Amino acid sequence: MLAAFGSLVFFVTRAVPETHGDAWLIAAIGFLLIAGTLTSELLEVIGLPHITGYLLAGMIAGPYALRLFDEHTVESLSPVNTLALSLIALAGGAELELTQVRKALRSLSWALLSQFLFNLLGAATTFLAIRRLVPFAHGLPTSALVGMAILWAVLATPRSPSATLGVLSQTRAHGPLASFTLAFVMTCDVFVIVLLALVIGLVRPLVDPSAVFSSEDFLTLGHDLLASVALGTTLGVLLAAYLRVVERQMLLILVALGFGASKMMDYLHFDPLLTFMVAGIVVRNMSEQGKKLVASIEQTGSIVYVVFFATAGAHLDLPLLRHLWPVALILAGSRATVTWLAARTANAFAKGPPVLRRWSWAGLVSQAGLTLGLAVVIAREFPSFGSSFRSLAVATIAINEMVGPVLFKFALDRSGETSPTPAPSFPSMRPPPLPG
Distances (CA, A) of 131 to 83, 123, 135: 38, 12, 8
Query: pTM for this structure?
Result: 0.72
CA-nearest of 280, 161, 182 to 232 is 280
In this structure, the dihedral spanned by the alpha carbons of residues 27, 160, 96 and 82, taken in order and rounded to 10 degrees, is -40
DSSP string, 80-92: HHHHHHHHHHHHH
Q: At which of 76, 97, 121 does a domain end?
A: 76
Residues 94, 29 share a domain? no
Statement to judge: residues 247 and 266 lie in one domain: yes
Choosing from 76, 92, 111, the residue where a domain stops is: 76
Q: Which of 107, 136, 145 is nearest to 360 (CA)?
A: 107
Mean pLDDT of the chain, nearest integer: 80
**Distance from C-alpha of 330 to C-alpha of 342, rounded to nearest angstrom:** 18
Rounded Cα gap, residues 354 and 277, in angstroms: 30
Gap between the Cα atoms of 408 and 371, Å rounded? 18
DSSP state of 362: G
| 340 has a pLDDT exceeding 90 | yes
Q: Are 369 and 85 in contact (CB under 8 A)?
A: yes
Final residue in a domain of this structure, among 76, 100, 118:
76
In a domain, 259, yes or no: yes
Do 168 and 62 share a structural domain?
no
CA separation, residue 95 to residues 36, 88, 204, 244, 283 (Å) = 25, 10, 37, 18, 10
400 found inside a domain: yes
Residues 399 and 156: beta-carbon distance below 8 Å: no
**Residue range 286-319, pLDDT digits in tens:** 888 888 887 787 776 667 778 877 887 787 777 7
The enclosing domain of 355 has a CATH number of: 1.20.1530.20
Sequence-ordered strand ranges (E) for 236-367:
none
Residue 17 pLDDT class (50, 70, 90 cuts): low
* Same domain? 153 vs 16: no
- CA torsion through residues 294, 299, 304, 309, sign: positive
Q: Supply the DSSP string of 201-242, one letter for each residue.
A: HHHHHHH-TT----THHHHHHHHHHHHHHHHHHHHHHHHHHH
Do 10 and 135 lie in one domain? The reply is no
Q: Is 190 inside a domain boundary?
A: yes
Question: Which DSSP letter does residue 135 get?
Answer: G
Among candidates 216, 157, 154, 145, which has minimal Cα distance to 188?
157
State the number of CA atoms in the 13 A half-sphere of 115 facing the CB.
29
Q: Which domain holds residue 65?
A: 2-76
| Alpha-carbon distance values, 327 to 15, 124, 148, 158, 376 (Å) | 39, 14, 15, 19, 20
In tens, the pLDDT along 97-136 reads: 777 777 777 888 888 899 899 988 999 999 999 888 887 7
Angle (nearest 5°) at CA 275 between 270 and 278: 150
Residue 431 lies in a domain: no
Say whether both 179 and 211 belong to one domain.
yes
- Assess contact for 160 and 370: CB atoms under 8 A: yes
Query: 349-382, pLDDT tens digit by residue?
Result: 888 788 888 888 998 898 876 677 677 777 777 8
Q: Which of 87, 20, 19, 108 shows the shortest CA–CA distance to 306?
A: 87
Do 44 and 150 lie in one domain? The reply is no
Let me know whether 257 and 367 are in one domain: yes
Residue 115 and residue 151 share a domain: yes
Residue 213 has pLDDT above 70, yes or no: no
Looking at the structure, do residues 7 and 19 belong to the same domain, yes or no? yes
* Phi, psi at 212, each rounded to 5°: -120, 135
Arithmetic mean of pLDDT, 38-45: 84
Total structural domains within the chain: 2
Cβ-Cβ contacts under 8 Å for 285 (sequence gap 6 or more): 96, 97, 98, 99
Residues 33, 126, single domain; the answer is: no
**Residue 421 lies inside a defined structural domain of this protein:** no
For residue 383, tell me if it sits in a domain.
yes
Q: Which helix (H) or strand (E) holds 28?
A: helix 22-44
Q: Does 30 map to a domain?
A: yes
How far is residue 206's CA from residue 117's CA, in Å, rounded to a whole number? 21
Residue 434 pLDDT level (bands cut at 50, 70, 90): very low
When pLDDT is cut at 50, 70 and 90, the band that residue 233 belongs to is very high
Residues 33 and 105 in one domain: no
Residue 435 lies in a domain: no
